[in-house]
Amino acid sequence: SNLNSLNLSRNMIKDASGMMKLPSNLSTLNLSENQIKAVPCCNNLSNLRTLKLGENCIESFHPQYNLSNITDLDVSNNRLNEVPLCFSSLNSVEKLNLAKNNIQQLPSFCSSWSQIRDLFLKDNHISKVPNELWNLKTLLTLDLTSNGLETLPPAISGLKSVEVLLVGNNKIGSLPSELGDLLHLRHLNAFGNRIRSVPKELLKCSSMTVLQLGYNQLKDMPSADGSWLDLEELILCGNQFT
């Protein structure tokens, strides 16, 4: 078979065992918006690069499923209570979408995602992040919006490449001064937290174009004289400025 892309989205597929019978040269498979509960061991699909499984009812992946060739994986809007064990094999993944599940913690094996560029974790129940996440030096976009985060640790300075950091709608009480070490950061959204002050070190983020700090507990901001020259959007509504 010459088939390399298959789109079966928006059907009524409940049993995904048919994946094991698909042609091995498939590089893209879209099974989003079905009713799949479990993902089988599909090691026959050794050429698969893009796997779309968003908006199903997925609770589990077969633990022996080898995902080492996947570069783009979408499992958003499912019923995962944890990051499946087989995700430890995602050492080629560049884009991983785990948004809108019931995940409460991230595994330390996220350190194996050594090629990752975009990680979406919005709308889960993550209250604490392992240090391994802050060491993902290839990460460009990190979305932790709408979780239960209370702090951002100093170790966040390990995100050497990050450009977009989205941590809005959490319970964060302060921003660490180490954010100033993120020299490529251009978009920071910390909307709807409990932040009382902005560290002056944030002014070192000279690439900043969008800064969203609305609905916090800010009373003042550091003087930005000569800094943030590229800033295009600054949102400070719903704070305590006088």
Residue 186 in contact with residue 209, Cβ under 8 Å?
Answer: yes
| pLDDT, mean of residues 33-40 | 98
Give the strand pairing for 38-39 and 28-30.
unpaired
Q: What percent of the chain has pLDDT over 70?
A: 100
Least Cα distance to 52 among 26, 33, 24 occurs for 33
How many whole angstroms separate alpha carbon 166 and alpha carbon 186? 11
SS3 content of the chain, % helix, strand, coil (to 5): 15, 15, 70
Q: Tell me what pLDDT residue 20 has.
A: 92
- Where residue 1 falls among pLDDT bands split at 50, 70, 90? confident
Q: What are the tokens at 123?
A: 């709308």
| pLDDT, mean of residues 53-74 | 97
| pLDDT, mean of residues 82-89 | 98
Q: Tell me what pLDDT residue 161 has.
A: 98
Q: The dihedral of CA 218, 126, 132, 46: what is its sign?
A: negative
